[in-house]
Structure 1
């Protein structure tokens, strides 16, 4: 009796076998709707292997990109998207493959913890962000009227802001190392390559501070005038429009306050410039994507 019950339980836990192309595709569709990524991937791969020229073959490949991405398999999503583009360069939905390249390339270096918990990804190596930006740019260049163009533009704006913020992080690091010329260079790079980015006021502040430390007052004052003209409320500026050169220490707190709160013998910590909470409160971006049409 017990052996019979075990046998019945084992049989009931097996996944159903699908033999026709339509059965495989519709089963995968239901599994995608239920976020059963592993089962969906298995059935979509089976469909491609057994019915490579079938009615659902092309759409199944697009769904497979989505399934791999949604399951956190960014590299597999990228490989599948590239293969679809190579095999079907004129397909009516090939723009979706380009779109998913942009989505997957930005998340491929993220671990499970980073996908679940808020993490400041602007401090990470920018390679993935640059790759993602290039992929979205390719989508817009090839298919400017794509259904995914509007979303791609929003994500590109986020990526540009992300890359600009990375440059400020590096500039702050250079201040800690005493590499003032390099810090100024990072600030200038933001101004020249990411105009209007929320990191722009910090980039100007970096240049004001950097030139000041390099004892180049003319250049420092020039950047200060630009900062005052465009960002009069920048927190390092006092009521008279003068720049507080101690602002980059202890997150903008007074050095005397630092002594009082941290101890008489504590040293000022260079924390640099980071005013995202003022100029860029929405610096996060969703990684949710749509299924292929």
Structure 2
């Protein structure tokens, strides 16, 4: 068995110590490099993040130039990065406006209501409620281009509009927007009445006289200002006769004659062809 000299032992210890020092140095360099990378990354993030005012201005310029997607992108960044600020809250209102311009009614309504939720006492509340009413009026256009399908048209936006009008009238009876809101409400009522008439006529034309009678009566009861009340009453009389209810037909005939003699009908028109 060979003997290891003292010199060999010293050399081995020195070599081991050198390897350890190199390893420690490598670890130190790695940690230092990692720290520098993280620091640079954080610095880059700070540099990329734009102030709320600048984001808002960029979005508004994009709106003016009709670059709506770019505007929405900046508003969304503003909301995400500066949540809780005045401009972030206002961004919800502006997004509602942009979606309105794009006829994206659901997104527009969500943004408007989000603004009201975050800022319930804003001086802009009457304006936003006015926009919600206008929105529901505008989005209820199905059937305007397909009258043959008007009987199954969705009328919920009009019902929502009327509820919003009632709320608006109670909260802001002196608002300068009240006149506009009133016009939307009148339009919604007229639209609902027309819808009832289309549904009633649909039943009538398909000889479902009992259902038609119910619709005609509902229309006369709930929409007394409908301009074609006389036409509706005449159709109701005819439906009663075809449904083998002559007594009720005669009774409605007498009432209609009395109203016409006293000029109490909203408007006398010829029967709808």
Does 1:37 pair with 2:68? yes
The within-5 A match list for 1:35-184 is 35-108=66-139, 118=145, 120=147, 123=151, 124-184=153-213
User: Structure 2 stretches of 5 or more lacking a match?
Assistant: 1-47
Q: Which residue of 1 aligns with 2:220?
A: 191
| CA contact 2:93–2:112 (8 Å) conserved in 1 | yes
Report the CA distance between 1:19 and its aligned residue: 2.6
| CA contact 2:237–2:253 (8 Å) conserved in 1 | yes
Q: Which residue of 1 aligns with 2:39?
A: none
Structure-2 change in CA distance of 1:44 and 1:110 (3 Å): farther
Q: Which residue of 2 aligns with 1:217?
A: 246
Name the structure with the higher helix share. Answer: 2
What TM-score comes out, normalization by structure 1 length?
0.64
| CA contact 1:171–1:206 (8 Å) conserved in 2 | no
Q: Which residue of 1 aligns with 2:34?
A: none
| Cα distance in 2 between the residues matched to 1:118 and 1:169 | 15
| CA contact 1:122–1:165 (8 Å) conserved in 2 | no
1:114-148 Cα offsets, whole Å, 9 max, x none, are 8xx85559541212221222223222222222332
Report the CA distance between 1:77 and its aligned residue: 1.2
User: Structure 1 stretches of 5 or more lacking a match?
Assistant: 1-16, 237-247, 252-293
Structure-2 change in CA distance of 1:109 and 1:179 (3 Å): same
| CA contact 2:225–2:266 (8 Å) conserved in 1 | no
| CA contact 1:167–1:186 (8 Å) conserved in 2 | yes
SS, match of residue 165 in structure 2: helix
| Cα distance in 1 between the residues matched to 2:254 and 2:266 | 10
| Cα distance in 2 between the residues matched to 1:126 and 1:209 | 27
The root-mean-square deviation of aligned C-alpha atoms, in Å, is: 2.9
Report the CA distance between 1:170 and its aligned residue: 0.9
1:21-65 Cα offsets, whole Å, 9 max, x none, are 223222322332333322221222222222234443333221111
| CA contact 1:191–1:203 (8 Å) conserved in 2 | yes
SS, match of residue 39 in structure 1: helix
Structure-2 change in CA distance of 1:154 and 1:128 (3 Å): same
Larger Rg: 2
| Cα distance in 2 between the residues matched to 1:132 and 1:189 | 20
Report the CA distance between 1:155 and its aligned residue: 0.5
| Cα distance in 2 between the residues matched to 1:43 and 1:227 | 62
Report the CA distance between 1:110 and its aligned residue: 5.6
User: Which of 234, 240, 250 does residue 269 from structure 2 map onto?
Assistant: 234
| Cα distance in 2 between the residues matched to 1:169 and 1:102 | 24
Select the structure with the greater relative contact order (CA < 8 A; seq sep ≥ 6): 1
| Cα distance in 1 between the residues matched to 2:124 and 2:200 | 42
Structure-2 change in CA distance of 1:31 and 1:232 (3 Å): closer
| Cα distance in 2 between the residues matched to 1:232 and 1:72 | 35
| Cα distance in 2 between the residues matched to 1:232 and 1:19 | 62
| CA contact 1:164–1:197 (8 Å) conserved in 2 | yes
